């Protein structure tokens, strides 16, 4: 019975090792995604090279820097994920090697014991066992036992050879995984250096742009256009929400869905006590009409601008769902949160986004990290009730 149990244990072990391996199609899919990001980065690098040929630094160059930076951060995040997955696979492979090595040693000891026993007793013991049978039935039973016992030993010898090959294959797999891990770590380090260099180039470009009044005026014009485009995005979200609710109501009417679920959350009750989207920072541009300090032009601020350190965590002010992730000139990367009951919040100038569209978010959960506008490190924050812009400061908690 011991040889049979050994075979079952080895089979279960092999199944476990195979099951823990990452499917090849999943690996290929992630590789395709990484290659797509790399190709997009290369396209922006070529675009930057062309834009830098002009004598003046333009806002479009700044946009390209931002888009390239977003992709670099995305690539670095993916590479970190690949590194963690590889580390898990390497650890699993090492554990598998230890188990395989232990099973191989067990089989070798077991087989060596059998060979030693045969050498000492020879085949005489088997003949004596058969001749000492008390009946012809017992003779046949013992003969069948000896035949199967011999075949099992033959299979044990074959199992030892197969197990050696498995150990060698696993060792080769481990070496490949370690090499791949080193490659990923090296690429991640290179991309982090490129991101650092890009940030320095962007800061230099910002300094030059801020000195050019034409660019400053153009940025104001772009802000006005971006605000109108953002208003259009909000309108599209409202319309999509209306259509969805009508379809749900129709399904309820036909009996295909249960009764309507009441809206969740208590956003309305949070007026004056709403959590701030950043842990610290000062409001440098309030809601409503705003006089530009240099150009003396009056524009409308559709939210508030909070001066924060670049890379500060940006959090959701309440429970909700990520309605959309977008990029707009002047606003850069932005996230719109749906808080139900018609309330939405907008977070712009994000250097990095850590959420996905449709994702459910809890109050205080990090949705991204702040970046920098033409006027400096900023978070632009807006609050809407349906199509009506709200003054965020009348909602946010006082004296934080």
Residues 356-381 pLDDT 10s: 999 999 999 999 999 988 888 999 99
Q: Which residues of 217-254 are buried (b: 16+ CB within 10 A; e: fewer)?
A: ebbbebbeebbeebeebbeebbeebeeeeeeeeeeeee
Determine the pLDDT at residue 117: 59
If asked whether residues 14 and 158 sit together in one domain, one would say yes
User: How many other C-beta atoms can be found within 10 angstroms of the C-beta atom of residue 322?
Assistant: 19
Task: Note whether residue 276 is domain-resident.
Answer: yes
Task: Note whether residue 234 is domain-resident.
Answer: no
Confidence check: pLDDT of 246 > 60: yes
Q: Which residues of 280-292 are buried (b: 16+ CB within 10 A; e: fewer)?
A: ebeeebebeeeee
Q: Could you list the residue range(s) of the whole structural domain that residue 52 is in? A: 2-210
Final residue before a domain boundary, out of 176, 192, 210: 210
Output the six-digit token pair for 243.
């259509």
CA 194, 200, 202, 205 torsion-angle sign: negative
Output the six-digit token pair for 387.
């199509």
If asked whether residues 57 and 191 sit together in one domain, one would say yes
If asked whether residues 64 and 189 sit together in one domain, one would say yes
Task: Note whether residue 321 is domain-resident.
Answer: yes
150 vs 131: CA distance, rounded Å: 18
Task: Please give the backbone phi and psi of residue 53, each rounded to the nearest 5 degrees, phi first.
Answer: -70, -25
DSSP characters over 378-393:
EEEEEEEETTEEE-GG
DSSP letter for 279, please: S
Q: Which of 290, 137, 163, 282 is nearest to 227 (CA)?
A: 290
Determine the pLDDT at residue 55: 60
pLDDT digits (tens, 9 = 90+) for 181-208: 888 899 999 999 988 898 888 888 888 8
If asked whether residues 274 and 196 sit together in one domain, one would say no
Residue 1's pLDDT band, with cuts at 50, 70 and 90, is: very low
If asked whether residues 282 and 201 sit together in one domain, one would say no
If asked whether residues 53 and 192 sit together in one domain, one would say yes
Confidence check: pLDDT of 3 > 50: no
If asked whether residues 202 and 286 sit together in one domain, one would say no
Task: Note whether residue 161 is domain-resident.
Answer: yes
Task: Note whether residue 387 is domain-resident.
Answer: yes
Element (H, E) at 377: strand 376-385
Q: Which residues of 43-74 are buried (b: 16+ CB within 10 A; e: fewer)?
A: ebeebbeebeeeeebbbebbbbbbbbbbbbbb
What is the pLDDT averaged over residues 337-361? 93
217 vs 152: CA distance, rounded Å: 87
228 vs 234: CA distance, rounded Å: 10
298 touches 291 (CB < 8 A): yes
Q: Domain of 300: which CATH number?
A: 2.70.70.10
Determine the pLDDT at residue 202: 86
Task: Note whether residue 100 is domain-resident.
Answer: yes
If asked whether residues 272 and 164 sit together in one domain, one would say no
First-to-last C-alpha distance (Å) of the chain: 73
Residue 11's pLDDT band, with cuts at 50, 70 and 90, is: very low
More confident call, 228 vs 107: 228
Determine the pLDDT at residue 19: 45
Q: Which residue has the tokens 């953002």?
A: 230
pLDDT digits (tens, 9 = 90+) for 17-27: 444 445 678 77
Confidence check: pLDDT of 60 > 70: yes
Number of structural domains in the chain = 2
Determine the pLDDT at residue 180: 86
Output the six-digit token pair for 106.
């067990």
If asked whether residues 205 and 297 sit together in one domain, one would say no
Determine the pLDDT at residue 255: 75
If asked whether residues 98 and 193 sit together in one domain, one would say yes
If asked whether residues 179 and 311 sit together in one domain, one would say no
Task: Note whether residue 245 is domain-resident.
Answer: no
If asked whether residues 290 and 373 sit together in one domain, one would say yes
Q: Domain of 153: which CATH number?
A: 1.10.287
Task: Note whether residue 219 is domain-resident.
Answer: no
133 vs 281: CA distance, rounded Å: 95
């Amino acid at each position: 019975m011991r040889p049979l149990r050994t075979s079952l244990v080895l089979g279960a072990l092999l199944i476990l090792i195979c099951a823990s391996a990452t499917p090849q199609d999943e690996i290929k899919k992630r590789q395709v995604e990484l290659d797509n990001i790399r190709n997009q980065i290369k396209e922006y690098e070529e675009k930057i090279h062309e834009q830098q040929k002009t004598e003046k630094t333009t806002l479009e160059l700044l946009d390209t820097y931002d888009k390239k930076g977003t992709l670099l951060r995305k690539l670095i995040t993916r590479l970190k994920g690949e590194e963690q997955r590889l580390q898990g696979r390497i650890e699993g492979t090492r554990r598998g090697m230890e188990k395989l090595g232990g099973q191989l040693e067990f089989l070798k000891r077991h087989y060596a014991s059998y060979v030693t026993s045969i050498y000492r007793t020879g085949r005489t013991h088997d003949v004596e066992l058969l001749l000492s049978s008390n009946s012809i039935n017992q003779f046949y039973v013992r003969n069948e036992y000896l035949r199967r016992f011999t075949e099992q030993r033959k299979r044990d010898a074959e199992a030892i050879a197969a197990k050696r090959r498995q150990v060698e294959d696993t060792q080769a797999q481990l070496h490949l995984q370690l090499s791949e891990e080193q490659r990923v770590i090296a690429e991640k380090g290179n991309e982090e250096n490129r991101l650092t260099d890009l940030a320095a180039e962007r800061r230099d470009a910002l300094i030059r742009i801020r000195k050019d009044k034409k660019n400053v005026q153009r940025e104001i014009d772009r802000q006005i256009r971006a605000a109108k485009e953002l208003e259009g995005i909000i309108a599209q979200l409202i319309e999509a929400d209306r259509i969805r609710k009508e379809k749900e109501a129709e399904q309820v009417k036909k009996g295909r869905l249960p009764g309507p679920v009441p809206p969740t959350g208590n956003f309305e009750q949070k007026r004056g006590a709403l959590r701030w989207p950043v842990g610290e920072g000062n409001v440098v541009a309030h809601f409503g009409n705003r006089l530009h300090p240099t150009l003396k032009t009056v524009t409308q601020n559709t939210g508030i601008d909070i001066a924060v350190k670049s890379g500060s965590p940006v959090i959701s002010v309440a429970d909700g769902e990520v309605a959309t992730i977008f990029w707009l000139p002047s606003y850069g990367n932005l996230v719109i949160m749906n808080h139900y009951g018609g309330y939405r919040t907008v977070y712009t100038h994000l250097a990095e986004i850590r959420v996905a569209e449709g994702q459910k978010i809890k109050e205080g959960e990090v949705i991204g990290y702040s970046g920098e506008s033409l006027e400096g490190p900023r978070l632009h924050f807006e609050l809407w009730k349906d199509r009506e812009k709200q003054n965020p400061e009348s909602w946010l908690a006082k004296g934080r």
